[in-house]
Structure 1
Amino acid sequence: MPLETKGAFIIMKVLVYILFAGLTVTSALLISTANDYHGPMDFSCKDNSTLRHIFSHHANSREDRVWSLGCYTGIEMVYDCQWTGYVNDYDRPFDFQCPGDDFINGLRSIHDHGPKDRRWAFQCCKMRGRIRRDCEDTGFLNDYDGDLNYTTTKTNQLFHGWISIHNNGHEDRIFDFEVCDYVQDGTTGILVCFLVAVLSVTSAFLVSTVNDYDQPMDFSCEGNSTLRHISSHHNNHHEDRVWSMGCYTGIAPVYDCQWTGYVNDFDDPFDFECPGDEFINGVKSYHDNGHEDRRWAFQCCKMLGRIRQHCEDTGFLNHYDDALTYTSNQDNKNIRGWISIHDNGHEDRIFDFQVCEYVEGESST
């Protein structure tokens, strides 16, 4: 075994001993090494245990990672586990979430020597009598070529989403997780079924990666869904961002959607708001390698029987060259305004959104 490989496994063994030293019976944890360099991974937690610990180490000589995954004794019965297909192509970013109240409880992955990258698939499971609440984003937890080490802080806090971006220079990925509390729904029998059905409709969420570096973007939420999640990552080599956008099922019919022209020139700031009671439900953009910047256009839509109230500014959500992530925290809160400032030194932008609650009422427009 190469010295670097031995070092990685020694690190993992030490980590196992440290974790076991502080464990009690009620928080029993089993850590398993899930793959070898370049080898496939096929791992899932068994017997009602849940995935709550993730560690990985990158080897530059292999341009791959070894992973250790930890399963804690679960708080309720785990059932109806389903595997996805592979959610990404080699070298491409992905932003995955389990549907509804499901959580990630298993991982599959295959490595390819050509692109020096992995494709990923996930096992999504349900937990009896539990629904997800208070979801939060961890932010990117590792640097390229750096170790990743994360354990959820509560027995009922599980992984619901997994974001990753590949860099061809480092031949490595960075990782960002969405974790949620899984709480008792407080109902039984037919009422449980009814509430789960309602929740799956009202919180249905589809995240899409909407562009590649230096490439155009043309995205809008379809049907009556509304744009409520935005994330992006900057790459210094390309001096551009990849973007992911998420559409939730809307609370009322969406109609009369209109596209603006481009609201900015290259390198210039902009401060855009949809008119009246409209909200942003789509984004277009194209990149110029000379300016290393983008121009932006927006789709503004109306919502039947809803008017805007209680608007607030998020403040700038990222630093230059850093990741951005935002999700509105109410099903009636949508994005109305978009502010951005470009910096020629960093060749990047910072972003600030205006979000408003859309409440019942008749629009005057």
Structure 2
Amino acid sequence: MQLKPEILVKKNGIIVNTCACIVIYMTIASMAETRSNDPKGPMYVLCPYIQTISSIQSTYMEEEGDRLWEVSCKDTYSYKHIMSCYTTPHVNCFKESTTFICPFNSIISGMQSYFSESEKDRRWRFTCCHQVYFCLQDCVWTAYKNNPEKAFKYNLQKDMYLSGLKSYYDKATKDRRWKFMLCKKRSC
């Protein structure tokens, strides 16, 4: 069954603590997948409760000078414990390199961005989720997974979780290259 994460969140409610920027949301689903944005439009993906990102796919749209993004989610945590989530402020400036790693042994469960026509680039925010009694270990950076102006799809292995992203802006093509930090999860 394929479900759109943002619709599930709206149907089941979102509780936002604006002081701590903590988002707690509840949804029951086994898999979520969505096309996350229109060319030059905002992107917003938030995996359902207890899930984190399992794959990222992106297609470069040459005429628009932007990318379409599609994200899938997988079950990651247990319903036995409360999960806390944090959405970052923007982690990059236009046309600048960025390295982002979720703090506190947390895993990426959401991605947001907006496109600037004048800059021909996106600014990014990420939602990181954590559950007590789980820690990350054996974290590694992948090689770059895309070439400028080329499509890519990256599926995480079943026992690996997305904890960070690194990208740089290629000024010649006005596109970004991406690599990912992957970690294993263990009880702690």
Both structures adopt the same fold (TM-score exceeding 0.5):
yes
Deviation at 1:76, TM superposition (A): 2.1
Deviation at 1:72, TM superposition (A): 1.2
Larger relative CO (CA 8 A, sep 6+): 1 or 2? 2
State the Cα RMSD in Å.
1.5
Q: Structure 1, unaligned stretches of length 5 or more?
A: 1-26, 186-365
Deviation at 1:103, TM superposition (A): 1.2
Structure 1 distance, partners of 2:186, 2:100, is 22
Tell me the number of residue pairs that the alignment of Structure 1 and Structure 2 aligns.
Answer: 158
8 A Cα contact 1:48 1:73, kept in partner: yes
Match of 1:163 in 2: 166
8 A Cα contact 1:160 1:178, kept in partner: yes
Structure 2 distance, partners of 1:183, 1:76, is 13
Structure 1 distance, partners of 2:148, 2:131, is 34
Q: How does 1:102-141 map to 2 (within 5 A)?
A: 102-141=106-145
Structure 2 distance, partners of 1:109, 1:51, is 16
Deviation at 1:47, TM superposition (A): 2.1
Structure 1 window deviating more from structure 2 (31-40 vs 77-86): it is 77-86
8 A Cα contact 1:165 1:174, kept in partner: yes
Q: Kindly provide the amino acid, as one letter, of the partner of residue 150 in structure 1.
A: Y
Match of 2:98 in 1: 94
TM-score, scaled relative to structure 2? 0.80
Deviation at 1:59, TM superposition (A): 1.1
**SS of 1:123 mapped into structure 2:** strand
8 A Cα contact 2:87 2:128, kept in partner: yes
Q: Return the match for 1:178 from 178, 181, 187.
A: 181
Residue 59 of structure 1 pairs with residue 61 of structure 2: yes
Deviation at 1:123, TM superposition (A): 0.6
Structure 1 distance, partners of 2:95, 2:129, is 27
Match of 1:151 in 2: 155
Q: Return the match for 1:48 from 47, 50, 56.
A: 50
Deviation at 1:125, TM superposition (A): 0.8
Q: Kindly provide the amino acid, as one letter, of the partner of residue 105 in structure 2.
A: D
TM-score, scaled relative to structure 1? 0.42
Structure 1 window deviating more from structure 2 (85-94 vs 72-81): it is 72-81
**CA deviation string 1:3-57 (max 9, x = no partner):** xxxxxxxxxxxxxxxxxxxxxxxx9432111111000012111121221111000
Q: Kindly provide the amino acid, as one letter, of the partner of residue 148 in structure 1.
A: F
Q: Which has the higher helix share?
A: 1
Deviation at 1:68, TM superposition (A): 0.3
Q: Kindly provide the amino acid, as one letter, of the partner of residue 85 in structure 1.
A: P
Match of 1:39 in 2: 41
8 A Cα contact 2:104 2:130, kept in partner: no
Runs of 4+ in 1 over 6 A off after TM superposition: none
Q: Structure 2, unaligned stretches of length 5 or more?
A: 1-28
Structure 2 distance, partners of 1:33, 1:103, is 21
Q: Kindly provide the amino acid, as one letter, of the partner of residue 44 in structure 1.
A: L
Larger Cα-atom Rg:
1
8 A Cα contact 2:166 2:178, kept in partner: yes
Match of 2:5 in 1: none
Match of 1:29 in 2: 31
